[in-house]
Structure 1
Amino acid sequence: MPEMKTRWDIFCTVVDNFGDIGVTWRLARQLVAEHSVAVRLWVDDLRAFERLCPDIDINATQQWQQGVEVRQWSVDWQPTEAADVVIAAFACQLPSAYMEAMAEREKPPLWMNLDYLSAEDWVVGCHGLPSVKYKNVQKFFFFPGFRKGTGGLLRESGLLERRRQFQQSPQAQREFLQGLGIDRAPNAQLISLFAYENTGLASWLDTMAADSTPTHLLVPEGRILGDVERWLGLHGLKAGAVHVRDALTVQVLPFVRQDQYDLLLWSCDFNAVRGEDSFVRAQWAGRPLLWHIYRQDEDIHLDKLDAFLTLYTQGLSEPAREAISGLWRAWNAGETMTDHWKSTRKHWPELEKHAETWCLEQALQADLAAALVQFYLNWI
């Protein structure tokens, strides 16, 4: 794509700790690095941002991080010139003064609502359509997605090649894991666990502890830690803690920055993830995964879950499809995991092969950043 001398503003309201800022921070960096656009990222919670990017100064109203201008989005909004492209992430409401600034531009900006990721059928029909209008400024729907006719998924240039090289290098994996204080047992399956609170966890841990195959479970600091503590009968687990119960080793990891989290996912045999950003990164890892979807009112999140499972499990044998679908549904309902995990383990080779196939199929689509740039080029 041609290099563009355009200015982009991305607005992010941090709703669920890390998912919103995870997506927008990744997108902002990629737009700067691969498309040479100037990006201002407006964030209303720099403390959450700091967990993903420890270099952030949480008190600075303006700073530069990895080529991105990061601005603190506070209630005390200062007059600001509107950019050429304005992205409201996940339907966040822009400051009224900024909307006026958009309307005052001689050439109105391209205004897009970057929506949540969904595999539901209706997304294809709505992607790219005009939404509301503010004075002379038209807003458009922009949907990430898994099908042709959507905006695709965030994927940096060369990501899968870097992943392939890492996964083919036992030394690189060993050095990375040792850097986090992880001493992987030779025959243990390595599993990462990043999830919301879940009443089904205890049964899953019981099942892994009783398994004939040893499991090393890596738990980055986060909301699921309280359930891990209850299962261990402990309190105040911190990063670095290691506890062994029969065939299961549980190790608590520090919350890692985004690039390190990729390496963690690539190192593991199975990844349990949550939200949106981690969900996409686990798919690029090419390994079997378990998604804890963000709960929504009236259980509409379960429709999203089923839509993705319908798409993801295409090509699997019926027993393997039932196994992985059952596991995901039980996990998201907080139900007993024992039978579902045993069934999943039975179909492991097929599920491993399928995860890689799915990853490569998704990589055939344009990535989200490139799709956004192309949408802008078409618009002008």
Structure 2
Amino acid sequence: MAVRWDIFCTVVDNYGDIGVTWRLARQLVAEHRCAVRLWVDDLRAFERLCPEIDVTLSEQWQQGVQVRHWPGEWVPTEAADVVIAAFACQLPSAYMDAMAERQTTPLWMNLDYLSAEDWVIGCHGLPSVKYKHVQKYFFFPGFQAGTGGLLREAGLLERRRQFQQDAGAQRIFLQELGVERAPDTCLISLFAYENAGVASWFDAMASDTQAFHVLVPEGRVLGDVERWLGIDGLKVGALHRRGALTVQVLPFVRQDQYDQLLWCCDFNAVRGEDSFVRAQWAGRPLLWHIYQQEEDVHLEKLEAFLRLYTQGLSQAAQKAISGLWRAWNAGQDMAEHWKATREQQQELAEHAQAWCLEQASRADLAAALVKFYGNWI
């Protein structure tokens, strides 16, 4: 009998929460032969990642995963063998009772947010609260030994390598999105939250001698792009040039296509958690727009990652990329930091590849979860 897993996702940040849980659910089914129910409270957000989703259904199957809409009124359901509360979401009280009523107690885990902070290693795998006799455990994704690792499907890096070595495949993929890449042009993807730093960054690229082509999938940063261009209501397919910079609006694409977009680009600006991890697997230099939290707690997480990520870089490269990330996340002027980053582009490109391989040397998140369950029983 396949081990039954229930994964609960409350959509908070549009796509990050569901992006992570959808990837995880599919991988558990495809690679570990688990029976997975993915409970989602917002099917509209899910639909953007998986267009086949029927938002009117309370239950459906997608890519081997049973997708259940998590409505306000709970329907009595038997608890699974493994229960994951993604990002500390609160489970329905009736479901918690169902966990406690099982003859065999389920493994209950809180799959937490990704962080490079030192304390994560010490807390990973520790017991948390109890509900009746059901013990909850912390499970932390992470970048170091002693954490749960990162989501990475089998063969991902080999598929990426083949794609990045195939200029024809890249050209066909970009053309399907309406993108024509000119020779000797630096291709950049931009997926971010609202950010006042867009104007200074675009100004710097527009006035450069190097040609840049920035691809902007539909999202929250489009308002800042519109203000810089002086245009209202940018639509998919819009293409504008100013100086050395070409800006093009792309449709919001499904996850496998987004991976390929990242693989095509020379530099990727990403946001949140899911796209942040996928940009690291792309093996290209990146810029992370971290999700803003109260009292600037997110900046501590940003600094923790920078301390880890920049190890092994020269002082100049370390200063350049760290300065760029800090300015971006503070909405400050990007011009000098971008110039410094461009001057260190070769070292930063080599470092991105090395970092990717280092992270891939560890167990992936899905495998770590399955192993944790195996050890627990």
User: How many Å separate the matches in 2 of 1:309 and 1:201?
Assistant: 21
The structural deviation recorded for 1:5 is 1.4
1:240-279 pair list within 5 angstroms: 240-279=237-276
Structure 1 counterpart of 2:221: 224
Query: Which residue of the other structure, out of 172, 175, 179, is the alignment partner of 1:178?
Result: 175
Instruction: Map 1:58-137 onto structure 2 (within 5 A).
Output: 58-137=55-134
Residue 76 of structure 1 aligns to a residue in which SS?
A: coil
The residue that corresponds to 1:317 in the other structure is 314
Q: For 1:93-132, what per-residue CA distance to the aligned partner results, in whole angstroms no more than 9, with x for missing partners?
A: 0000000000000011000000000000000000000000
Match of residue 303 from structure 1: 300
Give, in angstroms, the shift of residue 187 of structure 1. 1.1
Is the aligned partner of 1:168 residue 2:174? no
Q: Distance in 2 between matches of 1:202 and 1:59?
A: 41
Instruction: Give a deviation string over 1:132-172, Cα, whole Å, max 9, x none.
Output: 00001000000000000000000000000000000000001
Residue 295 of structure 1 deviates from its aligned partner by 0.2
Deviations 1:264-301 (A, max 9, x none): 00000000000000000000000000000000000000
Deviations 1:307-330 (A, max 9, x none): 000000000000000000000000
Q: Could you give the per-residue CA deviations for residues 175-233 of structure 1, whole angstroms, max 9, x where no partner exists?
A: 00001000011111000000000001100000000010000000000000000000000
Partner of 1:234: 231
Specify every segment of 5 or more residues in structure 1 that has no aligned partner in the other structure, as ranges: none
User: Which amino acid in 2 is paired with 1:375?
Assistant: F
1:341 aligns with 2:341: no
Cα distance between partner residues in 1 of 2:338 and 2:53? 40
2: CA distance, partners of 1:153 / 1:312: 15
Residue type of the partner of 1:59? T
TM-score (norm. length: structure 2): 1.00
What is the TM-score of this pair, normalised by structure 1?
0.99
Distance in 2 (CA, whole Å) between partners of 1:306 and 1:221 is: 28
Alignment root-mean-square deviation, CA: 0.5
The answer to whether 1:204 aligns with 2:187 is no
Gaps of 5+ in 2: none
**Correspondence for 2:52:** 55
Q: Give the SS at the match of 1:118.
A: coil
The counterpart of 2:37, out of the listed 27, 40, 57, is 40
Q: Secondary structure at the match of 1:281?
A: helix
Match of 1:30 in 2: 27
Paired with 1:238 and 1:27, the residues of 2 have a C-alpha distance of 32
Percent identity of equivalent pairs: 78
Aligned length: 377
